[in-house]
A and B are shown apart, each in its own frame.
Chain A
Amino acid sequence: MKNSKIGLLYILPWIIGMVFLTLYPFINALFISFTDYNLVREPNFIGFANYAKLFKDKDFLGTLRQTLKYTVITVPLQLAFALFIAFILNFKLKAINFYRTAYYVPSLLGGNVAVAVLWRFLFQQDGFINHFLGIFGVSPVKWLSSASGAMAVIVLLKVWQFGSAMLIFLAALKDVPQDLYEAASVDGATKSYSFFKITIPLITPTIFFNLVMQLVNAFQEFNGPYLITKKGPLNSTYLTSMFIYDNAFQLFNMGYASAASWILFLIIVSVTVVLFATQDRWVFYSDKGE
């Protein structure tokens, strides 16, 4: 009993934060989404008007399309890259701890202002990237002033932040029993055959976990496009989280922004539920059948 009280005391800061800084705003946002609250005047209850308007709002629907596109491109690329690097870092190499740290650094830096400024310089018309590509005879790419170029820049920034997923993959790879590889090797299996028939199946729970977490993150992406491309040419990098921010803090349509937040939340939950529903088909848990 005493231990449980001490335990509760330890997690009390988290509980307080969760209740007051997350749950309360979350529920409050639901109430606000049914009002025309604009921060200055008293809110009026307007029922589902904000939701109805959102489904006719070309900007909002456009941001949903761009967010979906961003997610579909980013998540597989990031997972594949994270798994690839984790696979390499699982070998017994010299200075392996240094490499592991080095590859995790981009995740710590994330999409902060300094990184964003650096990326803008790198991808400008006469920036380093175009100069580098020029060495191989590639014509300058309009990274920041074309719709596809701007999307590519924010996708690359996200993929570059693969460190967290990589660490989780690395832990999973270390858990794969070595005797399975040895047995496969005795039977004449090649490295690639072992990878696809032993490694991948055994780490599917981790792939599933990373997939869900990266999907949730990608749907909520804000920092990268906000700091580097903003809406981008022809709104090509205008993601739903930025639409929410603009409506809340630029236009002060708090009710409208809250409704958009809730729609985004419901989309994320729906996608997650669908993923959970499919896991029986491709995720292999070691205790299956118990």
Chain B
Amino acid sequence: MKKWKKSSAVLAAVLTATVSFTGCGSTGGNTAPATTAASGYSGEAKSDAAPAGELAKLSFSWWGNDDRHQATQEAIDAFNAAHAGAIEVTGEPSGFGNLEETFATRYAGGTEADIMTVNYPWLIKYSPDGTGFYDLDKVKDIIDFSQYDAGFLETGKTGGVMQAIPYGQNTLGVYLNKSAFERAGINEIPSTFEAYKEAAKTITAQNPNAYLIVSPTFRFAAVYYLQQKTGKGEFDENLNMNYTVEDYKEAMTWYKELADLHVFCSRQDYLENVGNDPVSIAQNAKFIDGGYLGVLEWTGGIASNAQTLADKGDELIVAPLPTIDGAVFKGTMAKPSLTFAISKNSKNPEAAAEFLQYILNDPEGTKLMGSKRGMVASKSAKATLEADGQITGAVKQAYDFTDEAEVINNSPIFEDAVFTSSYESNYEKYELGASTVDEAAQAFFDEASAQVAKLKAEYGK
């Protein structure tokens, strides 16, 4: 009998332990029920704007580092002071981690902020038909859209409806630690891949573990190569794949050859020194120590990256774009950086629009916001920052580079996690000898094709 009791106790403990995990892991119970989720997606605005004389309370969510938090809070305080008794904005800052988990959970539960920071790929995901966020055309008298390039504003539309305002353009470029090159005796910055190969020989002779260019996302280099080779982006406007298995095979082979020569960072070295996940270059210890001498990355992070190196006395510069042999396109890729949207559940969309106008176009607001979110697209904001002396050094170079570079705009599905993860996983198998390049390219192509089909079905393409 005692044995039975002991057995029962153990079994009960097992069930409790497993149930605890499975319940949490499944997420089912931690998320809003289906009906609630649907309301977040298709619900109407809770009520009309606050009546005249009543305080319109708004929330504003964003992510970033301490610098960005501080600048944004200062802008909020200044806006609140100027609208005392009429509008009051409360900030909801967060770090860089778990961005979409946080956003998706709040969005599904209908508890999102009135004014939201929205990643570009999320627009089509959460609003494929243009009904997921507030229609900004309804507040075009408040937000001055004339400060933006009309074509660029199109990236904020889904289903033909203006769902968000893109904050700025992110362009993929090569940024080098000029000081580290000079310490190695290289005073002329490479501008071709041949020059990079020569530079790698010189640098690895002094530090065998050094690599010239690292990218937090291995797929960037492959797409950079294939864009130059084909003149096309990875996906067309109907979300079809533009590249073939042979293309991906060629890109993987090209990257590995350059990784073997220490031009690009090898997967093995990245796993050893950084890990599996993309890590912000500004937090990449080997980059900071000069073990990685450059980076293939979006312009958006250049201010932080430059500051990180400046803190230890090194200088970051924007390098000329290297082109591959036989390139039919001598440019790079671009995308809108983060965007701002108004919740369709907001009680005060006009007040929210006033706040957006303040932080995006108003001289005082844009000056306070500064360059903490990368490069601005608003002409008036750029003029303000230039006049205030906030666009200098590497940031100035990045603005010039963005103005001059030929770009292919990325599809909104480009950054879908499945593509990035699948490419890295299959390239890793190839580089570490667990598969051939044919197998790796085919596996990525198959997985990407399946995901494209899924996304097209979800987005009604």
Contacts and interface: CB of A to CB of B under 8 A. Distances in A.
Interface of A: 18, 21-26, 28-29, 31-33, 35, 37-43, 120, 124-125, 142, 144-145, 205, 208-209, 212-213, 216-217, 220, 222, 229-235, 241, 244-245, 248-252, 254, 257-258, 261-262, 264-265, 268-269, 272, 276, 279, 285, 287-288, 290
A27 to B, nearest CB: 8
Contact of A40 (B24, B37, B276): B37
B437 to A, nearest CB: 16
A245 to B, nearest CB: 7
A264 B20 CA distance: 12
Nearest to A264: B22
B163 to A, nearest CB: 14
Contact of A29 (B17, B22, B41): B22
Contacts, number: 172
Contacts of B277: 230
Interface in B178-196: none
B453 to A, nearest CB: 14
Contacts of B37: 37, 39-42
Nearest to B17: A216
A265 B31 CA distance: 20
Contacts of B310: none
Which 6 pairs, one residue from A and one from B, show the smallest C-beta to C-beta distance?
Answer: A25-B29, A29-B26, A230-B276, A25-B23, A29-B28, A26-B23
Interface in B264-287: 268-269, 271-273, 275-277
B22 A144 contact: no
Contact of B17 (A37, A213, A229, A251): A213
Contacts of B10: 208-209, 212, 276
Contacts of B417: 250-251
A268 B27 contact: no
Given A24-B23, A261-B22, A276-B11, 18 more contacts: A22-B20, A23-B19, A29-B29, A40-B104, A40-B107, A42-B37, A212-B14, A229-B275, A234-B432, A248-B27, A250-B101, A254-B27, A262-B26, A272-B14, A279-B7, A285-B3, A287-B1, A287-B3
B271 A144 contact: yes
A261 B26 contact: yes
A243 to B, nearest CB: 10
B434 interface: yes
B135 interface: no
A205 B4 CA distance: 12
A40 B31 contact: no
B108 interface: yes
Contacts of B432: 233-234
A279 B4 CA distance: 12
Most buried by B among A29, A222, A250: A29
A167 to B, nearest CB: 16
B21 A241 contact: yes
A56 B428 CA distance: 22
A251 B23 CA distance: 18
A38 B105 CA distance: 11
